[in-house]
Structure 1
Amino acid sequence: MDSLKMFKGYGKIERDHNGIEDQQPNPKSQISKPVITTTISVFAILSITLTLAFAIASIAHHQATESQHLSNSADSIRFVCNVTRFPAACLAAIPPSANATDPQTILALSLRASFHALQSLASSLRGTKGGALADCKDQFDDALSRLNDSLSAAAALTDKAVSDVHTWVSAAVTDQQTCLDGLEEAGDAAGLEKMKKMMTRSEEYMSNSLAIVANIRDLLSHFNMKLH
């Protein structure tokens, strides 16, 4: 009997022990909610940080590239303008914002500036009839035609185009001088001095264009370029 009681008692201890074990939580089946929340927050912060870093790096790269491009443009224009007689006027006619980085483009911009300067001068003589000033208007119109032809030729520089541009710009310079000679011969001293002042910008621009085209081969060579 005592043995039976002991056996039954042993079974009861086992059941109680198992019951206690069943009540203990399974560490593998439960994860703390604060841990999950913290993990999600960390990943979110990392994602935002990486996105911002990428955006900032992209903006910085764009600004650096643009700055370098403008610097190259300014250096290119300055180098080309140094072959001219009036480099300050050349730089004024072709600002760095034009983003010109090769001699051909700079020549075209110089020719365009010459054309617009002379066009403005010619417009100031509109309606002039007779006398030396009327002759000046005719000379300016002829010079504008030559500069317009030069602009077309400068779009695709060849040996012939370089020769033609040089000839036409030289002729345009001569047209302006012919205007001054006419005023001097007419004895119009006041008109002569006034015209000289009015002609200053177009005269400097055309002189610079002529210098650039005269040195275009050497300039292109410096930029590792050739005529078409």
Structure 2
Amino acid sequence: MARLTLPLLLILLSILHIATTAQSTSTVPKRSGATDFIKASCRTTRYPALCVQSLSVFATAIQRSSRQLAHTALSVSLSRARSATVFVSKMARIKGMKGREYEAVKDCVDNMGDSVDRLSRSLRELGHMGGAGGQDFMWHISNVQTWVSAALTDESTCVDGFAGRAMDGRVKASIKGRVVNVAQVTSNALALVNHFAAKH
């Protein structure tokens, strides 16, 4: 096998460096443009910092699509709602809870189950829309808005169940922390769905 001379090796290395630099710089504007789009869109939400933090990791998939942004926001909300539902279900099995606390946890499991169901339906509905326009678009988007709003109500109802001093404690704090986060990402998802709807 022929040995590479030093000048030839230097030429090859500089060609390789130019090629990789060109490739990396071509992807940077694409991603930063998508991130700027996400940041601008998140300004329409109630929790913009959380919105950017939870969605910017999906910038490459979202690009500058309002529809893809709404779809991703709903996916994030559904994923967190499912995780919170599993967590609350485990909390319901803790021994030694007071009667009222146990009832609140049980009700929260039901509420979060309903929230997961409604977010799943809204995500499917958005996925089925295809190139729907006019009356068809309005009908589909109205269904999505209704179900996401209902999911947000379910999450708020769960949190409200832990109101009052009698409910203070570890269980209340850990469940509230999880569910409030879900409610915030769901609120953001609804704002982004509304933003997408307004563009049509």
TM value normalised by structure 1: 0.66
Q: What RMSD, in angstroms, separates the aligned Cα atoms of the two structures?
A: 2.7
The farther-off stretch of 94-103 and 142-151 is 94-103
Unmatched tracts of structure 2, length 5 or more: 1-6, 94-101, 130-136
Partners of 1:150 and 1:164 within 8 A in 2: yes
- Tell me the residue number matched to 1:15: none
Give % identity. 25
- Tell me the residue number matched to 1:94: 55
- Tell me the residue number matched to 1:140: 112
Partners of 1:77 and 1:96 within 8 A in 2: no
Instruction: Show the 5 A alignment for 1:2-41.
Output: none
Matched, 1:195 2:175: yes
SS at match of 1:85: coil
Do the aligned partners of residues 186 and 180 (structure 1) sit closer, same or farther apart at CA in structure 2, a change above 3 Å counting?
A: farther
Aligned residues: 174
- Tell me the residue number matched to 2:24: 63
| Deviation per residue, 1:179-226 (Å, 9 max, x gap) | 2333338953445555332322101100000111112134xx4xxxx5
Task: Measure the CA separation in 2 of the matches of 1:125 and 1:52.
Answer: 57
Tell me which of 180, 204, 218 is aligned to 2:184. Answer: 204
Partners of 1:142 and 1:175 within 8 A in 2: yes
Unmatched tracts of structure 1, length 5 or more: 1-44
Instruction: Show the 5 A alignment for 1:86-165.
Output: 86-99=47-60, 100-101=62-63, 102-127=65-90, 128=92, 131-157=103-129, 158-165=137-144
TM value normalised by structure 2: 0.74
Partners of 1:173 and 1:207 within 8 A in 2: yes
